[in-house]
Structure 1
Amino acid sequence: MRTILRPIRCADEQVSRKEDRPVVQRIQIVVEDDLTGGRADETVFFALDGQRYEIDLAEANAESLRQSLAPFMARARRVRGRLPKSGPHRPVQATISAADAQEIRAWARATGRKVSARGRLPQWLIQAYNGRAA
Structure 2
Amino acid sequence: MNTYPDKRFNLPIPGQSTERSTDQRSDPLLLTKNQTPANPKGRAADVATVTRFEFVDDIDGKPLDVDDVNVVQWAWLGVEYEFETSTANLDRIENGRLPVSTLLAKSRRTGGRKKSPSHSSASKPAATAGSADTKAIREWAQQNGYEVSDRGRIPAGIVEAFTSAH
The structure richer in strand per residue is 1
TM-score (ref. length: structure 1):
0.37
TM-score (ref. length: structure 2):
0.32
Larger radius of gyration between Structure 1 and Structure 2? 2
